[in-house]
Structure 1
Amino acid sequence: MSTIQTRAAVLRAMGAARPYADSRPLAIETITLDPPGAGEVRVAIKAAGLCHSDLSVINGDRPRPMPMALGHEAAGVVEAVGPGVDDLSPGDHVVMVFMPSCGHCQPCAGGRPALCEPGAAANGRGELLGGGTRLHGPEGDLHHHLGCSAFADRAVVSRRSLVKVPADLPFEHAALFGCAVLTGVGAVVNTAQVRAGQSVAVVGLGGVGLASVLGALASGASPVVAVDLSEDKLALARSLGPVLTVNAADADAVEQVRNLTGGGADVVLEMAGSVR
């Protein structure tokens, strides 16, 4: 296989002045994409979500090596596979995950692939799990964002950054499983280990918070209380199932949660990142 040209959203410097509509930190560039190497896959991106982790690189809160092609929450279709990839084929639908898992380090062997040590090191360097970059601009190499660089028409990623999904799952839904669902449901099931019958309160109803609500419902939690400042988001939470809601702007919001959970929730998930 040979290199191909593709388009990608490239960040060349962090910390641009706001508003970003004026400073325009990202630029759509035509770049060169290497063919997939051993254990790698080329994916045609069909849907990608904008996550706060992307914004945290743009504003410099999460420093990363520059320049970098951004984007990590995405779904697409396999176009080509490199040597050694025998469980995916062109045409398969896949979701990208923001942490490649080597399968061999201590966290991976212990069932915690999100803490993969080689994966975290590669992400920090802006490289793929196999080392190096597969992206090149007119001025030199470009770094990968969390092993994905999914704000693009196509991407080359490690096989260990992909999960095969059913072909009838819409791409715009599948993309959310790569970060928001992975984080929110993972917090409920893996970190909090919520059990059936426990009471759960979720504070903050962004993508991760709503995924946590779904994870709590799937785990059999009862009651599930969702807390946010937005009435629209509270209504959306109620539409997901038997969910009680509290507006955080209410003066007695804490007392409402206590009353709804019989004295206090067994598990509280803070997904707002705000003190308001």
Structure 2
Amino acid sequence: MPELPEVETVRRGLLPVLQGAVIESAEARRPDLRWPLPEGFAERLTGRRVEAVGRRAKYLLADLDGGEVLIVHLGMSGSIRIEGAQVKGRPAGFYHPRGEPGTHDHVVFHLAGGATVTFNDPRRFGAMLLVPYDQLDSHPLLSSLGPEPLGNTFHADYLAQACAGRRTNLKAALLDQKVVAGLGNIYVSEALHRAGLSPRRMASTLASVSGAPNVRTERLVIAIRDVLREAIQAGGSSLKDHRQVNGELGYFQHNFKVYDREGEPCPTLRCKGHVQRIVQAGRSTFFCATCQR
């Protein structure tokens, strides 16, 4: 499942092509993805200008001039392909098939000027919804999300209060989208290693009895921000399906310290431990039991 850095990478790739563009026509080549497409989907998009291209957690958001917002979720295997675009006078596009050519191209936007934006999703766990702008924050997919980890509202005081009294492990707390939005399995493992915190540690230990943060909380917030910024700079992590909208692979997977490195020596300076793999709530967790306490 693409996590925040992968979705943010896609958003940044779409921005120069899609923002300000008019959707001349839209094709819905099937009636559903993970859920049924909205009624009159193609017709409601035709002629609309894209005013802004944003992101909330793992969702892409395209603000339309008709007062609606297109919500896009990439699901397990979704990707977005740009063809025929010009950015600053230079061609901007790529073609990278996912399975049979055209077979999994489920939604196509034809932009004024000739560019096309295609949503390809072999497993069809992705989604597209149209929501009135003034109802966006109250939509069930978004209403309960926690703060953005790179935003101003995510800080040690907030995280301590969110974890105070929680009777769950630290990894589970960070994967809870109500606590912090956009984090997933990969970047939680990486951030916990950087912060020197065990994924099995109780989340409540990030706060004092009064709910105040401690040194562990400060380290973790810094680690989360740093690992996400570095991953975005690297174009995300390409493990199976993720590619940037220019067709290139993300390469942050080459910078993993612990994720998918079971049995390797811990990269922490002077640590003599090795990376272990455990299963928490059905998901693999990678960490070093020697330096992560």
Q: TM-score, normalised by structure 2?
A: 0.28
Q: TM-score, normalised by structure 1?
A: 0.29
More strand by share: 1
